[in-house]
Structure 1
């Protein structure tokens, strides 16, 4: 079954919304964003979550020790590195987890997908500069305009994304698809990509806050199609 992540929780009442439909993962944003939360705010939400939901912390360009501190405070299960990580950084992060008895935390890497065909060579170079993708516990595809880190909530061109998917899955086929997903298009997305998981945030909101119906409809629709291949 396709795994489901609902990202951008920021109110304690958001815990009640996800507890009603039980996505596999929820995300807390610790990067610059209107959905950014503090470690203390995230902890209060986490304490209200169903125990079957795993917590992901989303970071960009964050010092290793800050990630370690946040992971401890919140009780994170996954770290999502939402920028072009380097080999040196990944080594330092893993070493810090080992020193702090956080070896059970998984590490996901955002993979940048271009918005235009003309940028594909440039984006492949970005990906090749990253650590070997097999070192990560999962990958997440997100559109990146030029040198941005992504997180725009906009969908990437599917045909471009599919070509990246087919090449990258040789190294790591645990791939989440993100960007522009909602209850109406997620089923088609799962059929097209057969991803390991899907991730949504902004389009599950009404007036800037998580909407109970949209969140639950998204989770149900994402799981309709069947298994990851």
Structure 2
């Protein structure tokens, strides 16, 4: 199971999550986000275990590639409706492609797009809402349990200690935590992260 903590803005949170065993650390490169961060600062963060994951919304391939190089990123999470070609150009082994289940009339239509993008990404992220992210709403566990996608998929949107017990049984292979483990935007609550990890992995 992959666990990601997104919206990192402080070195102490990076260090805490890395030491705790979090797999992916998310750095948001989107000016409209309260968690937007500069590539120069991200480049100074050197986790020992966790992979640095850049979150992009409307940037194109050239801009994403430039930021990835400047920030020393490992992975690229795409939230801007990026195409198959863009995912392929950025490198399927690096891309986490976001889809929004609430945009789809049926689970079958969502699954069709998941299978379409599977060859050009390492994982698919299912996010609450219809665009962007970090809005703190969550998806229905019942609907998610109906998905039978063989490709790894992660779940995001309002996840935290209050709902992870139900969501851990949806079939997701990863969980993306952000607003549900914060005190303020970009200010992580270490006890909430520790509790979330315990719920998902059974570790103290």
TM range (shorter): 0.7 to 0.9
Q: Which residue of 2 aligns with 1:207?
A: 184
Residue 54 (structure 2) pairs with residue 64 (structure 1): no
Q: Which residue of 2 aligns with 1:140?
A: 125
Instruction: Tell me the SS of whatever aligns to 2:63.
Output: helix
Q: Which residue of 2 aligns with 1:26?
A: 25
> 1:175-227: per-residue Cα shift (whole Å, max 9, x none)?
1111111123223211x2132111110111113311111112212221129xx
Q: Which residue of 2 aligns with 1:186?
A: 164
Separation in structure 1 between the aligned mates of residue 110 and residue 69 of structure 2, nearest angstrom: 34
State the shift of 1:135 in Å.
2.2
Q: Which residue of 2 aligns with 1:97?
A: none
Distance 1:63 1:157, change over 3 A: same
Higher RCO (CA-CA < 8 Å; seq separation 6+): 1
Separation in structure 2 between the aligned mates of residue 12 and residue 20 of structure 1, nearest angstrom: 12
Distance 1:158 1:37, change over 3 A: same
Instruction: Tell me the SS of whatever aligns to 1:120.
Output: coil
State the superposition RMSD in angstroms. 2.7
Q: Which residue of 1 aligns with 2:136?
A: 153
Larger radius of gyration: 1
> 1:109-146: per-residue Cα shift (whole Å, max 9, x none)?
0121118xxx525993796499532321001111123x
Uncovered stretches (5+) of structure 1, i.e. residues with no partner = 95-102
Q: Number of matched residues?
A: 201
Residue 109 (structure 2) pairs with residue 124 (structure 1): yes
Contact 1:204 1:214 in 2 (8 A): yes
Contact 1:86 1:131 in 2 (8 A): no
Separation in structure 1 between the aligned mates of residue 77 and residue 201 of structure 2, nearest angstrom: 22
Displacement over 6 Å in runs of 4+: none
Among 101, 108, 126, the residue aligned to 2:96: 108
Matches within 5 A, 1:68-79: 68-79=65-76
> 1:25-53: per-residue Cα shift (whole Å, max 9, x none)?
11001123101101012122x22x2x111
Uncovered stretches (5+) of structure 2, i.e. residues with no partner = none
Separation in structure 2 between the aligned mates of residue 19 and residue 125 of structure 1, nearest angstrom: 33
